[in-house]
Chains A and B, each alone.
Chain A
């Protein structure tokens, strides 16, 4: 299935954002890497916020055949 917005794995994306934040806290000093990570972090944050603001909970009933 192609990756849609709703396919975002919230837990994974959130964990990745936390890892980037921790990387910055540690004070690594590589400008190129820092900028790449910053861009990735901002994209993740936008996606996560979007997920929380736009998406709805989908409920469907699974029909079980009762014996």
Chain B
């Protein structure tokens, strides 16, 4: 016979469960009943089916999927365990999945309501992508067709982009964590390549090699899939990380039906990975055409200006010439005027100029006396003469 203490027995039972139970591979499916959150930290509820009930217990941070509520069918992964203090048997859950598309849709509807109320999908906060992005953070799976399509269209349309690929899983339970991490890494903007050696980047590492400018856009893309496969893009953590991104976000998921929350929270949404590339960059042929048009416009405008300037100069010369001609005319008429005052021209017409002994021209008798000498200037010379007598005119 072997005697065990109560706590020893419970420890033995718990160790046994741990040894035989595969918490990763086996899930218990049932309906949620009495869901409650205590102290903001612990979630507990009962999982029921027609004939049984088991208590589920887990810390709230492990609740990573869409919110659950009473009546939902869920699958619980975890470890069976007896809580020693109260001897209570429960399933200590590691993760919970919502079972069936109906349940999933219901859970998503709840999450949507909450995110919408918080304003995460508000169109007023949507930013525009820059017209010519240069550095892009691409979050995608390197093996996916989505990645291939996106890069192909990008290469067809534009050149000179710097694309940093953050390779992530795009489905499965690890996908949301990886995507969130990639968004956070990209958000830091400056990637220290000294710490992250990349064999694909050739060339010497000069100073300032690590000082990269922030990304112009953050692109998250994957191809289509079922609702379950796209769950990473409905994950609240991913949605919040996108919401908090300082870099403008572009999300494109190929699908036919409902939008994922990641697309709804994105600044710009694209319908497929190909559409993502189209929305991100212009077609370079269009831009080359636009450049040619701008160039032609500027050349023509300059030619027009030069013509105008030429005409202005020609007009100015005309005005100057007219001004000079005016001066010339004025000079000629003044010359004629001065010529008419030239005393020599008077002498030519039969008049004479009389001056006294001092050379002063005399036009009156005043101051003259008989026997004074006068000089008479005529057309071809002068004559000196004595005044015989003076006869003044009677004043009237």
On A, residues with C-beta under 8 Å from B are: 1, 6, 8-11, 14, 17-18, 20-21, 24-25, 27, 29, 31, 34-35, 38, 41-42, 45, 48-49, 51-64, 66-67
Contacts and interface: CB of A to CB of B under 8 A. Distances in A.
Contact of A66 (B178, B191, B288): B178
B291 A38 contact: no
Interface centre among A18, A25, A34 (most CB of B within 10 A): A34
B182 A34 contact: no
B309 A64 contact: no
A17 B287 CA distance: 13
A18 B280 CA distance: 21
A31 to B, nearest CB: 6
Contact of A24 (B132, B133, B178, B297): B297
Nearest to B181: A64
B159 A1 contact: no
Interface stretch (B111-119, B203-211, B332-340): B203-211
Contacts of B299: 38
Given A21-B294, A24-B305, 6 more contacts: A41-B294, A41-B298, A55-B159, A56-B155, A61-B164, A61-B166
A29 B160 contact: no
Chain A binding surface SS class: helix
A29 B308 CA distance: 9
Interface in B150-165: 151, 154-155, 158-165
Interface centre among B142, B287, B301 (most CB of A within 10 A): B301
Given A21-B298, A25-B301, A52-B160, A62 B201 contact: no
B134 A11 contact: yes
6 nearest A-B residue pairs (beta carbon): A55-B160, A24-B301, A11-B132, A1-B208, A10-B132, A57-B161
B142 A61 contact: yes
Nearest to B178: A66
